[in-house]
Chains A and B, each alone.
Chain A
């Protein structure tokens, strides 16, 4: 199950954050362990970013977050680094599917007013985000039905198990 309500500190990014920026391909040829790879999250555009994270953090971005390659490593390292959710105006479509498939919540909404360091509450069930100290709730674009099902179960593997394609007990 994916948590439907959480609160975290915002780390702010701009438009067109591509998957090469999220995790550089050069590391994929050297490091197989995801926790080790996660230390290089956003390294080329924000050196030391991994060390800034405290767990339960939220990345807030502009348009087209996760554009570029199909590497599932991108949402994997974001999740491994302890990020709770990514909030953006829009996402690259392959990244979007990959994140949902591994159970990393993505939220599509207006992120214009979100600043680095602000606290943000996300309520997937009620469909809003709200910045600390703000009365206004910002509406979240609803998930398509298929995405809602996968998200509710926590990822595509859990969905395949529920649908009977995959045995429940796997290593």
Chain B
């Protein structure tokens, strides 16, 4: 076979290195999986499917993690039964389990040093793509795929085509990573990157911290993407320092890699964005929704529950009270963020403003958490990633997605606001 000279995208390189095949978009490869995790929102659980296959031990107990995050308050008997099953499985298999209140899997797994650049990571959650911010291939799968990888240590993949998104310039004041990904969702639509990888690059990315990059990769699934991958740079190296050992290989795209589409966005002209009910790609600049009354505001989730998000929200809420009749829930993305927010005095700001602090994890994001279920006809503005009808447990409610700044500003007045007027 002749050696092809065509350059590779990041995902083509990762798929090649993990399969031993010189892989390009369109190829089907069987690749080694470095890390696999599952959570308590799955029915059946990953552990239950594994057990139903009649295999005694997972391929490698170090590569399998369970996280209790989707229903951290354990609101029902059924959930209690699932949590007990997960604990028994972890004990039997000698695998790690993160507990109620430790945080959302997409925060805790990278935060605790389980993710390295260049890895292949799969998990039974569609927002697993978040971890692409660490220059890794990370993608959501179902429980059957996870269980088969728990047995074989590998999984088949169709190597995706790649869309290159170049972010130029710098974000203006009051505009954040969340606005970037909402804008992109509006631009290419919910099906705009289906089966594809999105590589982010450009000076606009270089200026974003790793947490903000995670906000962007978190939501590439809302465009249908298989994964979203951020470049490796000094910021990421520093973020990883102290979390993982230095034994990893960053992955860079070749200059002559083939992309199916290139999208350039100039950040300087961007404004705060809002996704209106009931679709994530139903996006408008904030002016298109300004003044809409809201009864609930939610800050947190794996999209926007990190320290920088809480700091931005606290800066707007400091010394103020939210509108009477509005409920504000703040859910830190992990236990350590919760602790840091406490030490920095942010929790005091939120509590004094009238917020309720929710258990770290998927509180007030998935309807299965049974936190912050809205009433009929009520409107919710949230930093989460999905606004599907019924997402928070009531199909008769209306959900708007926005940045932490927009949500905080809107909580103060009880209607959707332009956060730039509150800074």
| A and B associate in one complex | yes
In the docked arrangement, what's the CA distance between A82 and B144, Å?
Answer: 20
Within residues 110 to 153 of chain B, which ones have a CB less than 8 A from any CB in chain A?
Answer: 124-126, 128, 140-145, 148, 151-152
Contacts of B368 in A (CB 8 A): 25-26, 28-29
- Pick from A18, A26, A32: contact of B367, CB under 8 Å: A26
Is B258 positioned at the interface, with any CB of A under 8 Å from its CB?
no
A90 partner residues in chain B, CB cutoff 8 A: 191, 194
B41 CB-CB contact with A under 8 Å: yes
Q: Which of A72, A92, A144 gathers the greatest number of chain B CB atoms within 10 Å?
A: A72
Residues A44 and B395 in contact in the complex (CB < 8 Å), given A25-B366, A73-B43, A93-B224: yes
Q: Is the CB of A97 within 8 A of B54?
A: no
Any chain A CB within 8 A of the CB of B81?
yes
List the one stretch of B72-80, B168-176, B301-309, B323-331 in contact with chain A. Answer: B72-80
**B369 partner residues in chain A, CB cutoff 8 A:** 29
Task: Say whether A70 faces chain B, with CB atoms less than 8 Å apart.
Answer: yes
Taking CB atoms, residues of chain B closer than 8 Å to A134 are none
Q: Closest chain A residue to B48 by CB distance? A: A32
Q: For chain B, which range describes its interface: under 10, 10 to 19, 20 to 34, or 35 or more residues?
A: 35 or more
Are A92 and B194 CB-contacts (below 8 A) given A144-B28, A166-B55? Answer: yes
Main secondary structure of the interface of A (DSSP, over half): loop
Closest chain B residue, CB of each to CB of A63: B191
Whether B386 lies near A68 (C-beta < 8 A) is: yes
Contact B367 A24 (CB under 8 A): yes
- The answer to whether B28 and A145 touch across the interface, beta carbons within 8 angstroms, is yes
A30 at the interface (CB under 8 A from B): yes
Instruction: Known A101-B145, A146-B156; judge A166-B75 contact (CB<8 A).
Output: no
- B54, A70: Cβ atoms under 8 Å? no
**B54 touching A166, Cβ below 8 Å:** yes
Q: Contact: B190 with A37, CB < 8 Å?
A: no
Q: With A21-B389, A32-B78 as given contacts, are A167 and B141 in contact (CB-CB < 8 Å)? A: no
Q: Is B229 an interface residue (CB 8 A)?
A: no
- Interface 1/0 per residue, A125-159 and B, CB below 8 Å: 00000000000000000001110000000011100
B318 to chain A, nearest CB (A): 34
Let me know if B151 and A165 touch, CB within 8 A.
Answer: yes
- Is the C-beta of A94 less than 8 angstroms from some C-beta in chain B? yes
Residues of B within 8 A of A25 (CB): 41, 70, 366-368, 391, 393
CA of A101 to CA of B160, assembled, Å:
20
Candidate in A20, A30, A45, A169 with the most chain B CB atoms within 10 angstroms: A20
Contacts across chains A and B counted by CB atoms under 8 Å: 149
Residues of A within 8 A of B79 (CB): 29
Please tell me if the beta carbons of B194 and A93 are within 8 angstroms of each other in the complex: yes
A94 to B146, CA, bound (A): 12
Total interface residues on A, CB under 8 Å, equals 48
Q: Is the CB of A68 within 8 A of B144?
A: no
Given A29-B75, A72-B142, A67:B224 Cβ within 8 A = yes
> Are A29's CB and B144's CB within 8 A?
no
Contact flags (1/0) for B61-104 with A, using CB distance below 8 Å? 00000000011000110110110000000000000000000000
Given A25-B41, A32-B81, are A18 and B393 neighbors across the interface (CB < 8 Å)? Answer: no
Min CB distance, A36 to chain B, in Å? 11
Central interface residue in A32, A93, A146, by most chain B CB within 10 Å:
A93
**Are the C-beta atoms of A72 and B388 separated by less than 8 Å?**
no
B406 interface hit (Cβ, 8 Å) = no
- Once the chains bind, are A16 and B190 in contact (CB under 8 Å)? yes
Within the complex, what minimum Cβ distance (angstroms) separates B104 from chain A? 14
CA distance A133 to B71 in the complex (A): 50
Within 8 Å CB of B195, what residues of A? 93
- Asked if B370 is an interface residue, CB under 8 A from chain A, the answer is yes
- In the complex, chain A residues whose CB is within 8 Å of the CB of B125: 69-70
CB-nearest residue of chain B to A23? B43
Contacts of B124 in A (CB 8 A): 70, 72
Report the Cα distance A169→B366, complex, angstroms. 37
Q: Which residues from B are CB-within-8-Å of A160?
A: 53, 148, 151-152
What is the interface of chain A, defined by CB distance below 8 A to chain B? 15-16, 18, 20-21, 24-26, 28-32, 34, 37, 43-45, 63-64, 67-73, 90, 92-94, 97-98, 101-102, 144-146, 155-157, 160, 165-167, 169-171
List, sorted by A's number, 25 A–B pairs whose CB atoms are closer than 8 Å. A15-B191, A16-B279, A20-B388, A24-B393, A25-B366, A29-B76, A29-B79, A32-B78, A43-B395, A63-B191, A64-B190, A64-B191, A67-B191, A69-B125, A69-B140, A71-B41, A71-B42, A73-B43, A90-B191, A98-B141, A157-B52, A166-B55, A167-B55, A169-B54, A170-B53
Known: A26-B390, A29-B79, A64-B191. 16 other contacts (CB 8 A): A20-B390, A21-B389, A21-B390, A25-B367, A26-B370, A29-B75, A44-B390, A68-B126, A68-B386, A68-B388, A144-B158, A160-B148, A165-B152, A166-B151, A170-B53, A170-B54
